[in-house]
Each structure stands twice: as structure tokens, then as C-alpha cells.
Amino acid sequence: MSSNFVRSLIALAAGAIFAIGLGVGGMLNPANVRGFLDVLGEWKPALMLVMVGAIVVYALANQLALRMKKPLLDIDWSNLPRPGFDFPNQAKLGAVLFGVGWGMAGFCPGPAIASLVSLHSTVWTFTTSMLVGFYLFALYERRKHSKGT
């Protein structure tokens, strides 16, 4: 088996586990997400447990990764951001747009993609719009870098 095939299988398994976790945690229901974000109204704190669980898993994985000389399926850690990385203005604007979109639609990328199986038109509209946004940003970045700006 090639290493790319093994990487793809691991990515598929990780994605499936992530999607199942989103479903079990209630993050595929936009009403739950908006209820969690509505801290001044009828706040639904249940998603806090999902987020705390994700933080714990990340913290443990991060500690394990810091102790490893190299990743399991790659040569080195060259694709990681460097300490002191400063987000450019586009990333700050993207973060704001992400937060506003999450609050309005009740979806972020992972749950939106996992919810496509529901065949609801709102999920498909959101996901299509998100993918068009990704494409337009990539096109913008490509043109910006080809001009040397």
C-alpha cells in the first residue's frame, strides 16, 4: 500500500469520526448552534461540552506531537505555522465573516459538509456559497501572488 493511500484512509476515518461526533454533539442542528451563541436570550450551554471535549482532545494531541521528532505520516513538521505568526488583514476579515456567518446560518464548514446528507436546501445553499467563497479567495490569492503584490 502506498503512503498516500494510507494517508487518505486515515483522513477518511478521521473525517467520519469527526462527522459522527458533530452529529452526536448536536452541532449539525443550526438551532442548537444559534441557541448556544444567544448568551443574552435563551442560552443553550450544551455545545460547551462539545467544545470542551474538542479542546481536551486537541491539547492531548498537541502534547503528543510536541514530543515527537517527526509526524507519523510525513517527513517533518514543515507545514505548521511558525511561532509568532501574525495574521494578515485578510485573515482577520475572514475570521469576522466566519463568526457572522456561523451566527446567522448556524453552520460552520465541518457541520455544513456533514449535514449535506440531510438534503435540506438551506444546507446545500450555505455549503455552495461557502465553497464559492473559498474558490474566490483562492483565485484572489493566486492573482495577488502572480502580480508580486
> For residue 48, what are the CA distances in angstroms to 32, 54, 55?
11, 10, 10
Indicate the burial class of 105 (C-beta count within 10 angstroms; 0-12, 13-18, 19 or more): buried
The CA–CA distances, whole Å, from 8 to 4, 73, 101, 113, 129 equal: 6, 11, 30, 18, 26
The pLDDT of residue 56 is: 94
Q: What DSSP character marks residue 17?
A: H
pLDDT at 110: 83
pLDDT of 13 reads: 92
- Predicted confidence pLDDT, tens digits, the chain (149 residues): 677 888 889 888 988 888 888 888 888 888 888 888 888 888 888 888 888 988 999 899 889 988 888 887 777 777 665 555 566 666 777 778 777 877 777 788 888 888 888 888 888 988 898 889 888 888 887 887 787 65
CA gap 63, 8 in Å, rounded: 24
Helices (H) and strands (E) in the chain, counts: 6, 0
Q: What is the pLDDT of residue 33?
A: 82
Q: What is the pLDDT of residue 83?
A: 58
